[in-house]
Amino acid sequence: MTREIDARGLACPEPVMLAKKAIEEADDCVIIVDNEAARDNVCRIAKSQGCTATVEEGAGTFSIRITADGGPGKTEAGIPSTGPTVVVFPSDKMGQGDDELGTVLIKGFFHALGEVSPKPDTLIFFNAGVKLTVQGSDVLEDLHSLEEKGLTILVCGTCLDFYGLKEEIRAGTVSNMYDIAETMLSAGKVIRI
Amino acid sequence: MTSGNTYLIALFPSTSGALMAEKLFKREGIPHKIIPVPRQISSDCGVCLRFSVSERERAEKTLAGKVDIQDICPL
Protein backbone atom coordinates (compact mmCIF):
# COMPACT_ATOMS: atom_id res chain seq x y z
CA MET A 1 0.00 0.00 0.00
CA THR A 2 1.40 3.38 -0.94
CA ARG A 3 1.24 6.02 1.68
CA GLU A 4 1.07 9.63 0.55
CA ILE A 5 2.38 12.47 2.68
CA ASP A 6 1.87 16.09 1.85
CA ALA A 7 4.81 17.99 3.30
CA ARG A 8 4.30 21.20 1.36
CA GLY A 9 4.65 24.39 3.31
CA LEU A 10 6.48 22.63 6.12
CA ALA A 11 9.74 24.02 7.38
CA CYS A 12 12.96 22.03 7.54
CA PRO A 13 13.46 19.47 9.09
CA GLU A 14 9.75 18.57 9.23
CA PRO A 15 9.60 16.91 5.75
CA VAL A 16 12.66 14.79 6.54
CA MET A 17 11.19 13.62 9.83
CA LEU A 18 7.89 12.72 8.16
CA ALA A 19 9.79 10.87 5.45
CA LYS A 20 11.82 8.95 7.98
CA LYS A 21 8.71 7.93 9.88
CA ALA A 22 6.98 6.88 6.67
CA ILE A 23 9.95 4.78 5.57
CA GLU A 24 9.92 2.97 8.89
CA GLU A 25 6.21 2.27 8.70
CA ALA A 26 5.63 1.49 5.03
CA ASP A 27 7.61 -0.13 2.23
CA ASP A 28 6.33 2.30 -0.32
CA CYS A 29 5.46 5.95 0.13
CA VAL A 30 5.24 9.25 -1.69
CA ILE A 31 6.29 12.53 -0.09
CA ILE A 32 5.27 15.81 -1.67
CA VAL A 33 7.46 18.84 -0.96
CA ASP A 34 7.61 22.33 -2.41
CA ASN A 35 11.30 23.22 -2.38
CA GLU A 36 14.61 21.86 -3.58
CA ALA A 37 16.29 21.69 -0.20
CA ALA A 38 13.49 19.52 1.16
CA ARG A 39 13.63 17.38 -1.98
CA ASP A 40 17.37 16.78 -1.59
CA ASN A 41 17.12 16.10 2.13
CA VAL A 42 14.26 13.64 1.69
CA CYS A 43 16.15 11.82 -1.09
CA ARG A 44 19.19 11.60 1.12
CA ILE A 45 17.35 10.18 4.08
CA ALA A 46 15.73 7.62 1.76
CA LYS A 47 19.09 6.51 0.45
CA SER A 48 20.61 6.35 3.91
CA GLN A 49 17.79 4.01 4.90
CA GLY A 50 18.55 1.72 1.99
CA CYS A 51 15.62 2.88 -0.12
CA THR A 52 15.31 4.14 -3.67
CA ALA A 53 13.96 7.64 -4.24
CA THR A 54 12.48 8.79 -7.54
CA VAL A 55 11.51 12.41 -7.99
CA GLU A 56 8.68 13.65 -10.17
CA GLU A 57 8.58 17.37 -10.70
CA GLY A 58 5.25 19.15 -10.88
CA ALA A 59 4.24 22.81 -10.82
CA GLY A 60 6.29 24.07 -7.89
CA THR A 61 6.16 20.67 -6.21
CA PHE A 62 8.28 17.57 -6.09
CA SER A 63 6.76 14.14 -5.54
CA ILE A 64 9.31 11.77 -4.16
CA ARG A 65 8.46 8.09 -4.38
CA ILE A 66 10.39 6.06 -1.88
CA THR A 67 10.59 2.31 -2.20
CA ALA A 68 12.38 -0.05 0.13
CA ASP A 69 15.05 -2.17 -1.51
CA GLY A 70 15.78 -4.13 1.61
CA GLY A 71 19.37 -3.39 0.73
CA PRO A 72 22.36 -3.22 3.02
CA GLY A 73 21.72 0.44 3.78
CA LYS A 74 19.13 -0.35 6.44
CA THR A 75 20.41 0.92 9.70
CA GLU A 76 20.77 -1.58 12.46
CA ALA A 77 21.10 -1.09 16.14
CA GLY A 78 24.60 -1.10 17.56
CA ILE A 79 27.80 0.61 16.67
CA PRO A 80 29.12 -0.29 13.25
CA SER A 81 32.68 -1.57 13.39
CA THR A 82 33.32 -0.57 9.83
CA GLY A 83 31.64 2.16 7.92
CA PRO A 84 32.25 5.49 6.29
CA THR A 85 34.91 7.84 7.56
CA VAL A 86 33.48 11.21 8.47
CA VAL A 87 35.53 14.34 9.10
CA VAL A 88 33.81 17.18 10.94
CA PHE A 89 34.79 20.86 10.86
CA PRO A 90 33.30 22.86 13.75
CA SER A 91 35.53 25.82 12.96
CA ASP A 92 37.05 27.54 9.96
CA LYS A 93 40.44 27.17 11.60
CA MET A 94 42.50 24.13 12.52
CA GLY A 95 43.05 23.77 16.23
CA GLN A 96 42.88 26.36 18.95
CA GLY A 97 45.46 29.04 19.60
CA ASP A 98 46.49 31.59 17.07
CA ASP A 99 43.78 32.35 14.49
CA GLU A 100 46.19 33.27 11.75
CA LEU A 101 48.06 30.03 12.21
CA GLY A 102 44.78 28.10 12.38
CA THR A 103 43.78 29.57 9.02
CA VAL A 104 47.02 28.50 7.40
CA LEU A 105 46.77 25.03 8.90
CA ILE A 106 43.25 24.41 7.64
CA LYS A 107 44.29 25.46 4.13
CA GLY A 108 47.19 23.04 4.32
CA PHE A 109 44.89 20.32 5.60
CA PHE A 110 42.53 20.62 2.64
CA HIS A 111 45.41 20.58 0.21
CA ALA A 112 46.80 17.46 1.86
CA LEU A 113 43.35 15.82 1.84
CA GLY A 114 43.42 16.04 -1.95
CA GLU A 115 46.76 14.27 -2.11
CA VAL A 116 46.55 11.51 0.47
CA SER A 117 44.65 8.27 0.70
CA PRO A 118 42.49 6.81 2.01
CA LYS A 119 40.07 9.66 1.60
CA PRO A 120 37.20 10.23 3.98
CA ASP A 121 33.68 9.60 2.68
CA THR A 122 31.94 12.61 4.12
CA LEU A 123 32.91 16.06 5.36
CA ILE A 124 30.56 17.91 7.69
CA PHE A 125 30.78 21.64 8.32
CA PHE A 126 28.99 23.34 11.19
CA ASN A 127 29.20 26.47 13.31
CA ALA A 128 32.03 28.68 11.99
CA GLY A 129 33.17 25.71 9.88
CA VAL A 130 30.52 26.63 7.30
CA LYS A 131 32.60 29.69 6.39
CA LEU A 132 34.95 27.32 4.59
CA THR A 133 32.22 26.44 2.09
CA VAL A 134 31.09 29.92 1.09
CA GLN A 135 32.07 32.55 -1.45
CA GLY A 136 35.52 33.91 -0.76
CA SER A 137 36.78 30.83 1.09
CA ASP A 138 40.37 29.93 0.26
CA VAL A 139 39.62 26.22 0.18
CA LEU A 140 36.75 26.21 -2.33
CA GLU A 141 38.93 24.84 -5.11
CA ASP A 142 40.03 21.98 -2.87
CA LEU A 143 36.44 21.29 -1.82
CA HIS A 144 35.29 21.16 -5.44
CA SER A 145 37.98 18.70 -6.41
CA LEU A 146 37.13 16.54 -3.39
CA GLU A 147 33.48 16.61 -4.44
CA GLU A 148 34.54 15.53 -7.92
CA LYS A 149 36.34 12.62 -6.34
CA GLY A 150 33.03 11.50 -4.83
CA LEU A 151 33.18 12.87 -1.30
CA THR A 152 29.93 14.04 0.23
CA ILE A 153 30.00 17.49 1.78
CA LEU A 154 27.26 18.40 4.24
CA VAL A 155 26.89 21.99 5.40
CA CYS A 156 24.75 22.92 8.40
CA GLY A 157 21.85 25.06 7.19
CA THR A 158 21.14 26.56 10.61
CA CYS A 159 24.73 27.76 10.79
CA LEU A 160 24.73 29.28 7.29
CA ASP A 161 21.56 31.08 8.24
CA PHE A 162 22.99 32.30 11.54
CA TYR A 163 26.03 33.81 9.86
CA GLY A 164 23.87 35.25 7.04
CA LEU A 165 25.68 33.09 4.48
CA LYS A 166 22.81 31.04 3.08
CA GLU A 167 23.08 32.60 -0.37
CA GLU A 168 26.87 32.41 -0.37
CA ILE A 169 27.34 28.66 -0.23
CA ARG A 170 29.59 27.46 -3.07
CA ALA A 171 30.43 23.88 -2.12
CA GLY A 172 28.54 20.94 -0.68
CA THR A 173 24.87 20.50 0.17
CA VAL A 174 22.84 22.39 2.74
CA SER A 175 21.94 19.89 5.39
CA ASN A 176 20.18 19.66 8.74
CA MET A 177 20.97 18.34 12.18
CA TYR A 178 19.17 15.03 11.63
CA ASP A 179 21.31 14.27 8.62
CA ILE A 180 24.40 15.39 10.45
CA ALA A 181 23.65 13.35 13.55
CA GLU A 182 22.76 10.29 11.52
CA THR A 183 25.86 10.52 9.34
CA MET A 184 28.05 10.72 12.43
CA LEU A 185 26.28 7.88 14.21
CA SER A 186 26.41 5.51 11.27
CA ALA A 187 30.08 6.27 10.61
CA GLY A 188 32.85 3.80 11.24
CA LYS A 189 35.09 6.66 12.24
CA VAL A 190 34.48 10.33 13.03
CA ILE A 191 37.44 12.69 12.98
CA ARG A 192 37.02 16.11 14.48
CA ILE A 193 39.28 18.85 13.17
CA MET B 1 47.54 18.76 -9.09
CA THR B 2 46.30 20.85 -11.98
CA SER B 3 47.62 19.43 -15.20
CA GLY B 4 49.09 21.73 -17.80
CA ASN B 5 50.55 24.04 -15.21
CA THR B 6 53.97 23.86 -13.70
CA TYR B 7 54.43 25.13 -10.22
CA LEU B 8 57.21 26.45 -8.11
CA ILE B 9 57.22 26.57 -4.36
CA ALA B 10 58.81 29.18 -2.19
CA LEU B 11 60.16 27.89 1.10
CA PHE B 12 60.71 30.11 4.11
CA PRO B 13 62.81 29.74 7.25
CA SER B 14 59.71 30.22 9.40
CA THR B 15 55.92 29.87 9.31
CA SER B 16 55.51 33.56 9.94
CA GLY B 17 57.68 34.20 6.88
CA ALA B 18 55.28 32.12 4.81
CA LEU B 19 52.33 34.07 6.25
CA MET B 20 53.95 37.39 5.45
CA ALA B 21 54.70 36.22 1.91
CA GLU B 22 51.09 35.13 1.47
CA LYS B 23 49.92 38.61 2.44
CA LEU B 24 52.30 40.22 -0.04
CA PHE B 25 51.17 37.87 -2.81
CA LYS B 26 47.57 38.68 -2.05
CA ARG B 27 48.27 42.40 -2.19
CA GLU B 28 50.07 42.01 -5.54
CA GLY B 29 47.36 39.74 -6.93
CA ILE B 30 49.77 36.90 -7.64
CA PRO B 31 47.81 33.64 -7.89
CA HIS B 32 49.10 31.31 -5.22
CA LYS B 33 48.18 28.59 -2.80
CA ILE B 34 49.53 27.98 0.64
CA ILE B 35 50.33 24.27 0.93
CA PRO B 36 52.13 21.98 3.37
CA VAL B 37 55.78 21.51 2.43
CA PRO B 38 55.84 18.35 0.27
CA ARG B 39 57.12 15.28 2.09
CA GLN B 40 59.95 14.72 -0.37
CA ILE B 41 61.39 18.15 0.47
CA SER B 42 61.10 18.16 4.22
CA SER B 43 59.56 16.07 6.92
CA ASP B 44 58.91 19.19 8.96
CA CYS B 45 55.36 20.32 9.41
CA GLY B 46 55.98 23.47 7.42
CA VAL B 47 53.97 25.45 4.93
CA CYS B 48 55.13 26.96 1.68
CA LEU B 49 53.69 29.05 -1.11
CA ARG B 50 52.93 27.47 -4.44
CA PHE B 51 52.73 29.61 -7.53
CA SER B 52 52.96 29.26 -11.28
CA VAL B 53 56.38 29.18 -12.97
CA SER B 54 55.28 32.13 -15.09
CA GLU B 55 54.98 34.26 -11.94
CA ARG B 56 58.53 33.66 -10.80
CA GLU B 57 59.88 37.10 -11.58
CA ARG B 58 56.95 38.93 -10.03
CA ALA B 59 57.06 36.67 -6.97
CA GLU B 60 60.75 37.26 -6.37
CA LYS B 61 60.35 40.99 -6.83
CA THR B 62 57.44 41.09 -4.41
CA LEU B 63 59.31 39.27 -1.68
CA ALA B 64 62.73 40.87 -2.21
CA GLY B 65 63.92 42.71 0.87
CA LYS B 66 60.70 41.98 2.74
CA VAL B 67 60.73 38.28 3.50
CA ASP B 68 63.64 35.87 3.83
CA ILE B 69 63.33 33.12 1.26
CA GLN B 70 64.98 29.83 2.03
CA ASP B 71 64.58 28.44 -1.44
CA ILE B 72 62.45 28.47 -4.55
CA CYS B 73 62.18 25.10 -6.18
CA PRO B 74 60.00 23.20 -8.64
CA LEU B 75 57.13 21.20 -7.18
- Measure CA of the first residue to CA of the last residue in chain A; give whole Å: 46
Architecture of domain B7-74: 2-Layer Sandwich (3.30)
* Of A180, A7, A87, A101, residue with least CA distance to B15: A101
Q: A104, B35: Cβ pair inside 8 Å?
A: no
Q: What is the mean pLDDT of residues A63-85?
A: 67
Q: What is the mean pLDDT of residues A176-193?
A: 93
Q: What is the mean pLDDT of residues A23-35?
A: 88
Q: Is the pLDDT of residue A84 over 50?
A: yes
Residue % of chain B over a pLDDT of 70 = 89
Residue A112: closest C-alpha in chain B: B36
Residue B14: closest C-alpha in chain A: A101
Q: Which of B3, B22, B23, B33 to mutate to test the interface with A (most CBs of A within 10 A)?
A: B33
Q: A115, B1: Cβ pair inside 8 Å?
A: yes
Q: Is the pLDDT of residue A46 over 80?
A: yes
Going by the DSSP 8-state scheme, the letter that residue B54 receives in this structure is: G
Quote the pLDDT of residue A12: 77
Domains of chain A: 3-68 (3.30.110.40), 85-192 (3.40.1260.10)
Question: In the structure, what pLDDT confidence band is assigned to residue A80 with cuts at 50, 70 and 90?
Answer: very low
Q: Of all helices (H) and strands (E), which one includes residue B25?
A: helix B15-28
In terms of phi and psi (left: phi > 0; alpha: psi -120 to 50; beta: otherwise), the region of A83 is left
B22/A contact by beta carbon, under 8 A: yes
B11/A contact by beta carbon, under 8 A: no
Q: Are strands A189-192 and A85-89 parallel, antiparallel or unpaired?
A: parallel
Tens digits of residue pLDDT in B26-54: 999 999 999 988 888 876 668 899 999 99
Quote the pLDDT of residue A73: 43
The Cα of A151 is separated from the nearest Cα of chain B by a number of Å equal to 17
pTM score, two decimals?
A: 0.65
Quote the pLDDT of residue A111: 94
One-character DSSP codes across chain A = --EEEE-TTPPTTHHHHHHHHHHHH-SEEEEEESSHHHHHHHHHHHHHTTEEEEEEE-SS-EEEEEEE---TTS--SS--SS--EEEEESSSSSSSS-HHHHHHHHHHHHHHHHHSSSPPSEEEE-GGGGGGGBTT-TTHHHHHHHHHTT-EEEEEHHHHHHTT-GGGB-SSEEE-HHHHHHHHHT-SEEEE-
Residue B36: closest C-alpha in chain A: A108
In terms of phi and psi (left: phi > 0; alpha: psi -120 to 50; beta: otherwise), the region of A134 is beta
Task: Indicate the average pLDDT of chain A.
Answer: 89
3-state secondary structure A72-106: CCCCCCCCCCCCCEEEEECCCCCCCCCHHHHHHHH
Quote the pLDDT of residue B42: 75
Quote the pLDDT of residue A52: 87
